[in-house]
A and B are shown apart, each in its own frame.
Chain A
Amino acid sequence: MASAEAAVRATANPIRILGRSALAAVRMVGAVGVFALRGALAALTPPWFLSQLWRQIVAIGFFSLPVVGLTAVFTGAALALNIFTGGGRFNAEQVMPQIVALGITRELGPVLAALMLAGRVSAAIAAEIGAMRATEQIDAMRTLSTDPFRYLVGPRLLAGVLMLPLLTAVADTIGVAGGWLVATRVLNFSPEIYIRNTLDFLQSWDVVSGLIKAAVFGFIVALMGCYHGYNAKGGARGVGRATTHAVVSSAILIFASDYLLTTFFTHTAP
């Protein structure tokens, strides 16, 4: 009798663990979804806290420029070298400028800028809001008749959506410039031909699809920072955990949505 019971319990345990994890995952997706909707509503409907929005725009947009610029120039340069090598296997080195431009505007510009922001901005937001949560500042804000979603979350979401496309545009420009530098100084391309080939080849949809991706990524980066910070539990360790989760979940969601968006754009390109 006892051994039969023990046997049942032994087989049920892994199933219970699996079930519990699955339920927890679904619950988390739901929680994030609800949070995102509340945040979006707070961002899009009045009253707005414009001074907070401006602060976030400067923090997320302007102060991320150095990191994005550095990422872009090195990526563009390295990409140019690699595409040149690949093109050489087909005797098609001349198409390197075009391929580099396409790769940067459609994929690397938005994704790499978003990843750098995931590390920088998402972590900072999670840490700041998590620390506020740990020191009861969020509770205090509510007792001061101010909705933390309108004061904290909304401005950050809006700043993310608005600033990442602009940062991506800068990344695109500097990335192409990086490729151009390598091409003209190391690979002996003609400077004017490189640029003219690039400009003639690029279609506006190449750039625009990248900017749309950037807006989605910007929302993700800000959302993960706000969500994990807002729900941080347990003091300093909780804040540290929230920061890590924010960065990791931002990165994963960026890659997943990048694939989905790229598929969508490839099939529905104008």
Chain B
Amino acid sequence: MTDAIPKLAWKGVTKRFEGRTVLDGLDLSVAPGKSLVIIGGSGQGKSVTIKTALGLMRPEAGKIELDGKNVVGLPDGARRKLFSRVGVLFQGAALFDSLTIWENVAFRLINADGVPRKEARERAIEALEQVRLAPAVADRYPSELSGGMQKRAGLARAVVAQPEILFFDEPTTGLDPITAAAINQLISDQVRRLGSTAVSITHDLASAQTIGDEIAMLHDGKIIWRGPARELRMTDNPYVRQFVEGRAAGPIGA
């Protein structure tokens, strides 16, 4: 624990959906420039954790602090300024179907930052090169690309404006091991290059250990374990052990 203010912190965050409590007084924080990976079983509320931090969902209780300032319930204008400091890679890449790849990657630049189209296209192609997509891809449409290429384009879109915080929602889900490894490498390269703080959620352990400096496990709406990435396989915590070993029997009810 350092004395510095964490870049992002959840304090006592509670979120309910139709009677079901998904997040139950969640406490978590990420230090600036560090990469945190949240793991947990399916449906445990990992996506909700990210969405509350982004302001896409509003928690019933608790605070979410960015650089020490609570951002829950921000008015739209302040929220938009906040968004200019983050980049998000959604689970299915969430590219806009009716726009070309470069228009997707440059979306923020063109529509929110007022960058002229020519310059925006150049910056988009640069970002595509960062994620090892050829410039020829720039004029294709998302439906023409494979899942792996779409994720890379989504990553390019997230990093093109050099954000302070990056969020990755299940970046390798649904990809073959080789592509998954490529994505993991790209993510850790980008995070290191930008010096951003990163929060990822995944249930892919290989991914977790490649991307993350620290890993936290979410269960029943709370963080039940937290530690450096290398300690994941060494801990005695029974929940973590069951998850790591992939056993059906154990404290985590299937």
Task: Encode contact with A along B126-161: 1 for CB under 8 Å, 0 otherwise.
Answer: 000000000000000000000000000000010000
Instruction: Tell me whether B90 is interfacial, beta carbon within 8 Å.
Output: yes
Instruction: Tell me whether B111 is interfacial, beta carbon within 8 Å.
Output: yes
Interface residues of B in 85-102 (CB under 8 A from A): 86-88, 90-92, 94-97
Instruction: Tell me whether A144 is interfacial, beta carbon within 8 Å.
Output: yes
Interface bin, chain A? 10 to 19
Instruction: Tell me whether B84 is interfacial, beta carbon within 8 Å.
Output: yes
Q: How far is the CA of A137 from the CA of B107 in the complex (A)?
A: 12
Q: Say how far A119's CB is from chain B's closest CB, in angstroms.
A: 22
Q: How far is the CA of A139 from the CA of B51 in the complex (A)?
A: 9
Q: Say how far B147's CB is from chain A's closest CB, in angstroms.
A: 13
Task: Encode contact with B along A119-153: 1 for CB under 8 Å, 0 otherwise.
Answer: 00000000000011001110111111111000100
Instruction: Tell me whether A259 is interfacial, beta carbon within 8 Å.
Output: no
- A145-B51 in contact (CB<8A): no
Indicate whether A136 sits within 8 Å of B90 (C-beta atoms), given known contacts A144-B83, A147-B80: yes
Instruction: Tell me whether B54 is interfacial, beta carbon within 8 Å.
Output: yes
Instruction: Tell me whether B108 is interfacial, beta carbon within 8 Å.
Output: yes
Instruction: Tell me whether B254 is interfacial, beta carbon within 8 Å.
Output: no
Instruction: Tell me whether A49 is interfacial, beta carbon within 8 Å.
Output: yes
Interface residues of A in 223-263 (CB under 8 A from B): none
Q: How far is the CA of A142 from the CA of B84 in the complex (A)?
A: 10
On chain A, the residues within 8 Å of B56 by CB distance are 139, 142-143
Q: How far is the CA of A91 from the CA of B56 in the complex (A)?
A: 69
- A135-B107 in contact (CB<8A): no
With both beta carbons as reference points, the residue of chain B lying nearest to A149 in the complex is identified as B76
Q: What is the count of residue pairs linking A and B with beta-carbon distances less than 8 angstroms?
A: 54
- A139-B94 in contact (CB<8A): yes
- A142-B94 in contact (CB<8A): no
- B107-A143 in contact (CB<8A): no
With both beta carbons as reference points, the residue of chain B lying nearest to A150 in the complex is identified as B111
- B83-A145 in contact (CB<8A): yes
On chain B, the residues within 8 Å of A142 by CB distance are 56, 83
Interface residues of A in 135-187 (CB under 8 A from B): 135-137, 139-147, 151
Q: Say how far B69's CB is from chain A's closest CB, in angstroms.
A: 18
Q: How far is the CA of A75 from the CA of B1 in the complex (A)?
A: 77
Indicate whether A145 sits within 8 Å of B96 (C-beta atoms), given known contacts A49-B111, A139-B51, A140-B90: no
Task: Encode contact with A along B233-251: 1 for CB under 8 Å, 0 otherwise.
Answer: 0000000000000000000
On chain B, the residues within 8 Å of A141 by CB distance are 96, 107
Contact of A145 among B91, B92, B112, B157 (CB under 8 A): B112
Q: How far is the CA of A145 from the CA of B76 in the complex (A)?
A: 10
Q: Say how far A184's CB is from chain B's closest CB, in angstroms.
A: 46
On chain A, the residues within 8 Å of B157 by CB distance are 144
Task: Encode contact with A along B39-52: 1 for CB under 8 Å, 0 otherwise.
Answer: 00000000000010
Q: How far is the CA of A146 from the CA of B84 in the complex (A)?
A: 10
- B112-A143 in contact (CB<8A): no
Q: How far is the CA of A3 from the CA of B247 in the complex (A)?
A: 50
Q: Say how far A255's CB is from chain B's closest CB, in angstroms.
A: 32
Q: Which of A141, A142, A144, A151 has the most CB of B within 10 A?
A: A144
- A143-B88 in contact (CB<8A): yes
Q: Say how far A127's CB is from chain B's closest CB, in angstroms.
A: 12
A interface residues with partner B (beta carbon < 8 Å) = 49, 131-132, 135-137, 139-147, 151
| 6 residue pairs from A and B, CB less than 8 Å apart | A140-B90, A143-B87, A144-B112, A144-B157, A146-B111, A146-B112
